Chain A
Amino acid sequence: MDINRNNYEAFLLDLLEGRLSVKEEQKLNDFLKHHPEYVADLPDLDLLSLERPRLTYPRRDQLKKEMTLADAHISAANFDLFSIARMEGDLSSQQEEEHRYMVSVDDRRLKEWSAWQNTRLVPEHIPFPGKKKLRRNKAVNGRVLWLSILSAAASLTLVLVLLRIDPVVPGSGLSVADPEKSPPTLEQPTAVPETPLYAAEETPLTAVEETPRTSDKEVPKAVIDKEPLLALQEDAAVAVKNQEPEIMLETLAELGESSPQIIPETIEPRPLRIAGQLSSNAELATGSSDRIEPLQLPQVSPNLSSLSVAQLTELDRKKLISDFAREHDISVMSVANAGINGINKLTGSDISLLASRDENGEVSGFRLKSKRFSFSRPLAREQ
């Protein structure tokens, strides 16, 4: 870059600050030789360069002073430091003794020490007004947890109830297990439909009796095991043979009292009537025919068999639930939904319970749906 009247000052500044190369400096000198008028205006270059001041901070030593007083001894110079250190408990026993001695022999130091001690803040008790709000509310959490558990249990029970096809006894109320579809078990003894009553001598009849005492009352049910029924049927067969129109089987209750197979704990001793069933069979009841026709037992649901204690308990439980729901205006679906919500909360699942309705707008079934499964079931009539 050439030096001219417009930029020579910049070169001069660079020269002062030592940024010019030898070549540039030579150029600048040549320029000034050819233009002496600019040189006259220039201040003394030596004056332009400032000397770096050599100042020394007067308390330089104090800046490096360390707070530790490990090996120090007390003096007038460090008395304040020792006083603070003593307040803070930073002195060794020997240093503290030195400080104590200095204070004791000098009233001015004693006053100083007293002033230092006054700088210690005295904690005052300021109670926090909202302590109750600070507490972790475990009670609420526990209550929520218990409610969730109860809801889940209620939901599971309800789902089980909804999934189960309850025995519905058409007509006579006499229910007999289907031997083809329901394998014989101890609680579900085999009974062969369309078997003559007196053939029961060979095939023990297990009968579940529902006696319609009055039209609207609850139907009593009982489980009667093989042996008493066998004896009972023998009596019944004899009675039929003797053409007695009805056989009052209140003796069954008596039989139950004496027999361990009848389970009296869950039900009150109720007279069970086969007679009611028998009388429903006109031919049998009237005894109009000399020939006794085989007893025609109605076809029943394959799942229907004798009622166990559990089933009887279930009946009572359902009645309790029904009464409670009616009394407290609780719908089954709302309970089920609450239970499902409880399950979702406990397990983190996303099960939803949906009600399906028929053309009349009444709930006809339900649907359990989640990401992994979905199934529908019709609503049991009694629900």
Chain B
Amino acid sequence: MDAYADNLYRFVLKNLKNEAMAADVVQDTFEKLWIKLEDVSGLKVKTYLFTSAYHTMIDYIRKEKRYADTDPVTLNEANESEHYSDLAEILERAVQNLPEDQKVVVMLRDYEGYSYREIAEITKLSESQVKVYIYRARVYLKNYIGSMEQVI
């Protein structure tokens, strides 16, 4: 539970960017797990947690009207006056600029190491969609990092 809680919290926090809301989502998710524990296979607990958290998170975003299916900002929109100390910060910034779907799948992929199928199961997307989103996210991140390196 400890490891899952931390991972789940990181996943939600990175998406919501709000500690209180992220904590609420994690709390709600575990509450649902305890209620449905009889129905959740032991091997599927982590997937269940992330699936439930993902959908709860989407609900939170919609409630807060923060869910906007915006296109990723173009490279020119990046604030060139900002200074980034290292690659991690640049990457963090780039991830936040990703569309919600791409952000979620790439986080599940890199942070949690989920397979395409598992990500598709969590996000209710097709595997093909997951691949496309990951591909687009990688391309965007690479271009963003490249452009910021030039700026620096």
Question: In the complex, what residues of B have CB within 8 A of residue A125's CB?
Answer: 6, 10
Q: Which of A111-119, A305-313, A346-354 contacts B (4 or more CB under 8 A)?
A: A111-119
B8 within 8 A of partner (CB): yes
CA of A304 to CA of B131, assembled, Å:
88
B40 within 8 A of partner (CB): no
User: Per-residue CB proximity of B75-115 to A under 8 Å, as 1/0?
Assistant: 00000000000011001000100000000001101111000
Least CB distance from A380 to B in Å reads 47
Question: In the complex, what residues of B have CB within 8 A of residue A123's CB?
Answer: 7, 10, 110-112
CA of A134 to CA of B138, assembled, Å:
35
Cβ of B34 and Cβ of A136 under 8 Å apart?
yes
CA of A80 to CA of B146, assembled, Å:
14
CA of A126 to CA of B3, assembled, Å:
10
Task: Kindly name the residue among B5, B87, B134 whose own CB sees the greatest number of chain A CB atoms within 10 A.
Answer: B5
Residue from A118, A124, A126, A133 within 8 A of B142 (CB atoms):
A118
User: Per-residue CB proximity of A63-103 to B under 8 Å, as 1/0?
Assistant: 00001000000000000110010011000000000000000
CA of A118 to CA of B88, assembled, Å:
9
State the total of A-B contacts with C-beta under 8 angstroms. 74
Cβ of A118 and Cβ of B87 under 8 Å apart?
yes
Residue from B1, B27, B112, B142 within 8 A of A119 (CB atoms):
B142
Cβ of A119 and Cβ of B145 under 8 Å apart?
yes
Question: In the complex, what residues of A have CB within 8 A of residue B135's CB?
Answer: 67, 81, 84
Quick one: given A128-B9, A134-B5, are A119 and B26 in contact (CB under 8 Å)?
A: no
CA of A90 to CA of B74, assembled, Å:
29
A361 within 8 A of partner (CB): no
B39 within 8 A of partner (CB): no
Cβ of A128 and Cβ of B145 under 8 Å apart?
no
Question: In the complex, what residues of B have CB within 8 A of residue A127's CB?
Answer: 6, 9
Question: In the complex, what residues of B have CB within 8 A of residue A124's CB?
Answer: 10
Residue from B1, B5, B111, B128 within 8 A of A121 (CB atoms):
B111
B23 within 8 A of partner (CB): yes
A59 within 8 A of partner (CB): no
User: Per-residue CB proximity of A252-290 to B under 8 Å, as 1/0?
Assistant: 000000000000000000000000000000000000000
CA of A127 to CA of B13, assembled, Å:
11
A130 within 8 A of partner (CB): yes
B132 within 8 A of partner (CB): yes
CA of A135 to CA of B2, assembled, Å:
10
Residue from B8, B23, B110 within 8 A of A129 (CB atoms):
B23
Question: In the complex, what residues of A have CB within 8 A of residue B5's CB?
Answer: 128, 131, 134
Question: In the complex, what residues of B have CB within 8 A of residue A81's CB?
Answer: 135
Quick one: given A119-B142, A126-B6, A128-B26, are A135 and B111 in contact (CB under 8 Å)?
A: no
A1 within 8 A of partner (CB): no
A328 within 8 A of partner (CB): no
Question: In the complex, what residues of A have CB within 8 A of residue B146's CB?
Answer: 115
Cross-chain pairs A/B with CB under 8 angstroms, 16 sampled: A115-B146, A116-B138, A116-B142, A118-B141, A119-B91, A121-B106, A122-B110, A124-B10, A126-B10, A128-B6, A129-B23, A130-B23, A130-B27, A131-B1, A133-B27, A134-B1
Chain A interface (Cβ within 8 Å of chain B)?
Answer: 67, 80-81, 84, 87-88, 115-116, 118-131, 133-136
5 nearest CB pairs, A to B: A121-B110, A128-B9, A119-B141, A128-B5, A134-B30
